[in-house]
């Protein structure tokens, strides 16, 4: 940034070996200085501004929209068993007690269970095909690929295997809209509450 300090003492050579005052030039410099000063940000830079506060409903709705989810298949209420969320044949449930910063990641995880239902027809058949112990890791790997940072099953397993990632990518591709509506069956897998999280 230019400074006004010393403007009055600016001298330029006129080519004759002597120095000559150039008042017009100093005025131009002064005006430029003022313009640049006025254009400078008055407060802290944009990068230093705090992030907007996390709002539960905003996170929830934004993530559902990103995923192209049908809200009719989602409920924000306490799932049984103290879970943060469940997803299965009857749709998905997300606890309103989840800390706001985890809402998007939990919604993505439960969305992947709905995708498993859409891909295989039911969560039970998904479990049969994928293997009993692979529903959660595949859902969590897909959630991670979709942008989640809170992926407790991935952390527990120490990462996703190539097979996990192949099955996870299939969930990302298969974005059907119809859920197998088998009323009365409750085949939901749950994302458990991580201790201390
Ligand atoms: Zn799960």
Q: Which residue has the higher pLDDT, 46 or 16?
A: 46
> Is 38's pLDDT higher than 90?
no
Q: Would you place residue 183 in the very low, low, confident or very high pLDDT band (cuts 50, 70, 90)?
A: very low
CA of 127 to the centre of ligand 1 (A): 12
pLDDT digits (tens, 9 = 90+) for 51-73: 889 999 999 999 999 999 999 99
> Is 10's pLDDT higher than 70?
no
Cα 2 to Cα 47: distance, rounded to the nearest angstrom: 23
Cβ atoms of 104 and 63 within 8 Å: the answer is: yes
Which residue, chain included where needed, has tokens 């006025």?
38
State the pLDDT at residue 119: 95
CA of 109 to the centre of ligand 1 (A): 6
What one-character DSSP code corresponds to residue 88?
Answer: E
> Is 195's pLDDT higher than 50?
no
Cβ atoms of 168 and 145 within 8 Å: the answer is: yes
CA of 55 to the centre of ligand 1 (A): 23
Q: Can you give the C-alpha Rg of the chain in angstroms?
A: 30
CA of 162 to the centre of ligand 1 (A): 19
pLDDT digits (tens, 9 = 90+) for 85-101: 999 999 999 999 999 99
**Of 137-146, 168-177, 183-192, which range is least confident?**
183-192
Three-class SS of residue 14?
A: coil
CA of 54 to the centre of ligand 1 (A): 24
Closest to 189 (Cα-Cα) out of 141, 117, 100: 117
CA of 86 to the centre of ligand 1 (A): 7
Q: Would you place residue 50 in the very low, low, confident or very high pLDDT band (cuts 50, 70, 90)?
A: confident
CA of 180 to the centre of ligand 1 (A): 17
Q: Would you place residue 42 in the very low, low, confident or very high pLDDT band (cuts 50, 70, 90)?
A: low
- Mean pLDDT over the full length of the chain: 76
CA of 49 to the centre of ligand 1 (A): 36
> Is 107's pLDDT higher than 80?
yes
Q: Which residue has the higher pLDDT, 33 or 153?
A: 153
* Full 3-state SS string of 114-174: HHHHHHHCCHHHHHHHHCCCCHHHHHHHHHHHCCCCCCHHHHHHCCCCHHHHHHHHHHHHC
Neighbour count for residue 150 (Cβ, 10 Å) = 23
State the pLDDT at residue 89: 97
Q: In the chain, pLDDT over 70 holds for what percent of residues?
A: 64
């Amino acid at each position: 940034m230019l400074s006004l300090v010393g403007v009055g003492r600016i001298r330029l050579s006129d080519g004759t070996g002597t120095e000559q005052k150039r008042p017009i030039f100093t005025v131009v410099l002064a005006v430029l200085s003022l313009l640049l000063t006025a254009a400078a940000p008055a407060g802290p830079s944009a990068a230093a501004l705090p992030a907007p506060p996390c709002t539960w409903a905003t996170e929830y709705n934004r993530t559902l929209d990103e995923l192209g989810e049908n809200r009719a298949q989602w409920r924000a209420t306490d799932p049984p068993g103290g879970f943060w969320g469940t997803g299965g044949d009857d749709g998905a449930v997300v606890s309103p007690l989840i800390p706001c910063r985890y809402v998007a990641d939990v919604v993505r995880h439960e969305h992947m269970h709905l995708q498993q239902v859409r891909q295989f027809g039911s969560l039970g058949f998904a479990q049969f095909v994928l293997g009993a112990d692979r529903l959660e890791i595949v859902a969590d790997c897909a959630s991670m690929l979709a942008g989640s940072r809170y992926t407790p099953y991935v952390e527990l397993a120490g990462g996703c295997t190539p097979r996990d990632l192949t099955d996870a990518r299939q969930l990302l591709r298969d974005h059907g809209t119809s859920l197998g509506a088998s009323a009365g069956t409750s085949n939901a897998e749950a994302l458990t509450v991580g201790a201390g999280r």
